[in-house]
Amino acid sequence: MVQIDKNRCNSCNKCVRDCTAHAIDIRHYTVSELCIFCGHCVAICPQSAITMNGNAIVDLQPQRITPQDFRTLCAHTRSCRSFERKPIDPEVLRQLAEITAHAPSASNVRGVELSIVANPDLLKTLNTDVSSELLKMFRLLTLPVIKQVIQVLTSKAQVYKLEKYVEKFTRAQREGKQNISFGAPAVVLFHARHETLGMLETDASIWASYCSLYASSFGLGTCFNGFIAKAFGKNKSLQTRYGIPKSHKVYIALMLGYPTRGYLHETSRNAAHTNIV
């Protein structure tokens, strides 16, 4: 999959030195099976002699985002729960998905897949499916005996929260409100095969974060959604409706849409407690 053009290569060895897998034999212009296809060799070659999967070589643009620009992008990227009734251009959705090519993945496994739900009827079904699944769980957890156990294991506040969820979800179902996806015109599901070893869950979170920040640069609002992932985890048969294999786990969902609200001030909450050792 990685090819070295011996007519272009001048054996500068930059690729060899930057290859984390020690997979390149530049004397024979070969790449061994140790290659993890991270593309560092393609990115570093001053001769543009290395290609991967036959893809064209694209020059890297100069990086011009200042630290202040990035802070501003992050500060603007708040969880959005109120969306305009305006669909997102499929081309924008395609570009948002494409940003994952620039996101890292543990050992460059790249096992995360995206399913984008953008059909209005399917979005309503998604909301109902998730809401009903979670309501079943909340009702079970707030049965008197179970509630007592949870209270001992966690706190009274946790039980109170679960009881409030039962009320909120029941009301939303009665009133036909989209209490999970808030009428977002697209929901991106980040899923991968279910595994206990490996870091696919972390990969999915990182990829979703890249998508969220990129979406912000398109003027889109986003909100991560843990409820969707929880409900799919509880009832795998739900996944097939949205084209997700049962062998996969939905690690995180990201709601997308044009926001109806804007913010005027940066958040006043604290950054992570940090030790520099």
Ligand X SMILES: Cc1cc2nc3c(=O)[nH]c(=O)nc-3n(C[C@H](O)[C@H](O)[C@H](O)COP(=O)(O)O)c2cc1C
Give the footprint of ligand X on this chain (CB under 6 A).
78-79, 81, 223-227
Residue number with CB closer to ligand X (105 or 225)? 225
**C-alpha dihedral (136, 139, 145, 149), degrees to nearest 10:** 80
Residue number with CB closer to ligand X (81 or 136)? 81
Residue number with CB closer to ligand X (32 or 79)? 79
* Residue 269: CB minimum distance to ligand X, A: 8
* Residue 11: CB minimum distance to ligand X, A: 47
List all residues 6 or more positions away from 244 whose beta carbon is below 8 Å from its beta carbon.
Answer: 115, 189, 191, 232, 250
CA distance 121 to 125: 6
Q: How many residues does the chain have?
A: 277
Residue number with CB closer to ligand X (78 or 194)? 78
Residue number with CB closer to ligand X (46 or 226)? 226
Contact between 168 and 227 (Cβ < 8 Å) = no
Residue number with CB closer to ligand X (81 or 124)? 81
CA distance 175 to 180: 13
Residue 228, SS3 per DSSP: helix
Contact between 127 and 181 (Cβ < 8 Å) = yes
* Residue 205: CB minimum distance to ligand X, A: 7
* Residue 45: CB minimum distance to ligand X, A: 38
* Residue 242: CB minimum distance to ligand X, A: 16
* Residue 120: CB minimum distance to ligand X, A: 20
Q: Specify the long-range contacts of residues 9-18, CB closer than 8 Å, at least 24 apart.
A: 9/45, 9/47, 9/49, 9/50, 10/47, 10/49, 12/46, 12/47, 14/44, 14/45, 14/46, 15/40, 15/41, 15/44, 15/45, 15/50, 18/44
Contact between 108 and 41 (Cβ < 8 Å) = no
* Residue 233: CB minimum distance to ligand X, A: 13
Residue 47, SS3 per DSSP: coil
Residue number with CB closer to ligand X (78 or 168)? 78
